[in-house]
Amino acid sequence: MRKQVMNSARKKPKLNVAAGFSVPELLIVVALSSIIASFALISFLNANKGFKLAGATRTLCTYLEKARVDSVRRHGGASINVDSATSYTVNIDFDGTGTTARTFTLPEGTSLRYTLPPSTNIIDPSTTPLTITYDWRGRTGTTVLLTLTDSRTGVGSSTVSVGPVGDVSTDTTVTGPATTQTPQTTVSTTSGIKSMH
């Protein structure tokens, strides 16, 4: 007995025409993705530089304000020395034992310059150092415009203005004559002040 094998028609799977992406389509997508990623990276790096400049400006403003408050609290003596284009020294009572000096270095690529309004001459503190000294009322007596600049491309500059009455403001310009107003009454710096000790 012979078995007859019946040949059944097997269905062959048909290849679908839209089975995936072609190589040129994948290359175009990869190229576009890399272009977008490179623009994002450049923007991120510029933003990071801008954040460092803004942070350095905020730190400088903070220590200018601390020097002013320390001078009022201790009846004078606080100062900030700007004698380098990349750092400044703060002379205040940091730990409650008297005046101590700490030097703060600016981020890499950031430089510091100043002007004395109404003059517009930019002065390099490395050649002409500046000392901002606060009196017992927290006043400086002169106006100083400090400019922090990032030397790398894509990032601008930031300004810090210290007024003659000790006020500190950022990203402002000072125009016109900057004079110290004379007080209406003369107050002795030692009489009527109790000792803090």
CA separation for the pair 88, 63 (Å, rounded): 10
Residues in a beta bridge with 32:
none
What per-residue confidence (pLDDT) applies to 15?
58
What is the mean pLDDT of the segment spanning 92-100? 84
User: pLDDT value at position 189?
Assistant: 59
Q: What is the pLDDT, as a whole number, of residue 36?
A: 93
Q: How does residue 195 score in pLDDT terms, banded at 50, 70 and 90?
A: low
pTM, two decimal places: 0.68
pLDDT value at 90 more than 90: yes
Q: What is the pLDDT of residues 152-163, one digit of tens each?
A: 755 678 889 998
Under the banding of pLDDT at 50, 70 and 90, the label for residue 5 is: low
What is the assigned CATH class of domain 23-170?
alpha beta
Mean pLDDT of 59-69: 93
| Confidence check: pLDDT of 131 > 60 | yes
pLDDT digits (tens, 9 = 90+) for 67-86: 999 999 988 889 999 999 99
* Residue with the two structure tokens 């030397």: 151
76-82: Cβ within 8 A, 24+ apart:
76/134, 76/135, 76/136, 76/189, 78/133, 78/134, 79/131, 79/132, 79/133, 79/134, 80/131, 80/132, 81/129, 81/130, 81/131, 82/112, 82/114, 82/125, 82/129, 82/130, 82/131, 82/132, 82/146
What is the average per-residue pLDDT within 16-37?
84
Cα–Cα distance for residue pair 37/125, rounded to 1 Å: 41
Q: Which residues contact 105 (CB under 8 A, 6 or more apart)?
A: 86, 87
Cis upstream peptide for 125 (omega within 30°): no
d(CA 164, CA 140): 5
